[in-house]
């Protein structure tokens, strides 16, 4: 006979398979992809390219410029980290500030957070949605939903002590991966078992309609991690719905993927020569007041203060 734990594991697996099959049975968006900037190496084990994504579904046609970081996480030379809170808790920070302060190679925004949206007042307190861990210590709990948004917050990107990476369901009550050092949590799982499990779009919703998005995807062999910033512009119908972002991650080769934050929070930055500065790779979605701290000129968009930042740093191989 199966043990209680084995039966519970089998039931969980069956539920996840059913979820994937149910989501996959819906008519997926039809998407086209055009390479804008060919892949290039930013750092050892970290590449970058841009791809124009154009999708059509029952809601209409949407498009976005995808900024794609490709990280070789199979060699053990990439260390992921999440911005940890200070003595008084989490405060809002610019991803570029976190990048420079930590000496990281690249960074993106991660968990959803409370007290959005701030452009000119650093250091304001905030709370994170979902699980966040840094340096092996958990700072935000599984299932946390401080803004009462009602999203599942059960999909997490995790790096273990040996620098291997996984994307897992992390609902409250489920055990966290043994040896988890870094963890950030997204609003929804987008891809699971090589199938889209993204929720349907809603053109009347800012979140579920087309928007800028930050997403992460992992290959089936867990050797390649993609961090993607999907830009929107002031033009109508720009940005992607969750199911369209899922199709883009599948196109890249992801076997699992999650949606992190999005909208005006979507930021992707890289360190410049010497590590003393940064360059913004994407164009943030906000272009007018209350946006006051422009990333690179008064018409380029404005980097938002966010609750947590995910960084990746090239280090010596650990395996």
236 part of a folded domain = yes
Q: Residue 147 carries which DSSP code?
A: T
**Domain range for 148:** 4-314
200 part of a folded domain = yes
Q: Tens digits of per-residue pLDDT, 169-188?
A: 998 888 889 999 999 999 99
319 part of a folded domain = no
The number of CA neighbours under 13 Å toward the Cβ of 296 is 10
Q: Tens digits of per-residue pLDDT, 137-155?
A: 999 999 999 999 999 999 9
List alpha helices for 196-298, DSSP H. 242-252
pLDDT in the model for residue 120: 82
List alpha helices for the chain, DSSP H. 4-25, 95-102, 242-252
Average pLDDT, stretch 31-52? Answer: 97
Which has more confidence, 193 or 14?
193
Q: Quick one: pLDDT band at residue 274, thresholds 50, 70, 90?
A: low
Which has more confidence, 80 or 2?
80
188 part of a folded domain = yes
Average pLDDT, stretch 29-48? Answer: 97
138 part of a folded domain = yes
Helix (H, G, I), strand (E, B) or coil at 19: helix
| Structural domain count of the chain | 1
On whether the CB atoms of residues 131 and 162 are closer than 8 A, the answer is: no
| Cα separation values, 175 from 5, 28, 109, 153, 231, Å | 12, 32, 25, 15, 35
88 part of a folded domain = yes
Q: Tell me the whole-structure pTM to 2 decimals.
A: 0.89
């Amino acid at each position: 006979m199966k043990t209680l734990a084995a039966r519970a594991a089998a039931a969980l697996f069956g539920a996840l398979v059913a979820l994937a099959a149910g989501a996959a049975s819906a008519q997926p968006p039809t998407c086209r992809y055009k390479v804008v900037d060919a892949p290039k190496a930013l750092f050892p084990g970290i590449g970058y390219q841009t791809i124009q994504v154009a999708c059509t579904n029952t809601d209409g046609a949407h498009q976005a410029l995808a900024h794609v970081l490709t990280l070789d996480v199979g060699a053990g030379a990439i260390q992921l980290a999440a911005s940890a809170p200070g003595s008084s808790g989490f405060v809002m920070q610019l991803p570029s500030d976190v990048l420079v302060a930590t000496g990281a190679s690249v960074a993106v925004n991660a968990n959803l957070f409370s007290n959005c949206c701030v452009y000119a007042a650093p250091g304001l307190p905030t709370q994170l949605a979902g699980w966040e861990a840094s340096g092996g210590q958990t700072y935000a709990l599984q299932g946390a939903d401080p803004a009462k948004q009602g999203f599942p917050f059960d999909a997490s990107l995790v790096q273990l002590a040996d620098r291997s990476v996984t994307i897992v369901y992390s609902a409250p009550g489920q055990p966290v991966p043994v040896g988890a050092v870094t963890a950030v949590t997204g609003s929804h799982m987008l891809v699971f078992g090589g199938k889209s499990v993204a929720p349907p779009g809603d053109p009347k919703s800012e979140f579920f309609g087309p928007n800028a998005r930050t997403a992460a995807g992992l290959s089936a062999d867990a050797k390649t991690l993609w961090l993607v910033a999907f830009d929107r512009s002031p033009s109508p119908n720009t940005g992607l719905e969750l199911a369209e972002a899922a199709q883009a991650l599948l196109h890249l080769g992801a076997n699992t993927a999650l949606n992190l934050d999005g909208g005006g929070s979507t930021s992707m930055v890289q360190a410049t020569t010497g590590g003393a500065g940064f360059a913004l790779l994407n164009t943030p979605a906000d272009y007018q007041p209350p946006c006051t701290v422009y990333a690179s000129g008064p018409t380029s968009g404005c980097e938002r203060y966010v609750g947590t930042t995910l960084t990746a740093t090239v280090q010596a191989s650990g395996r």
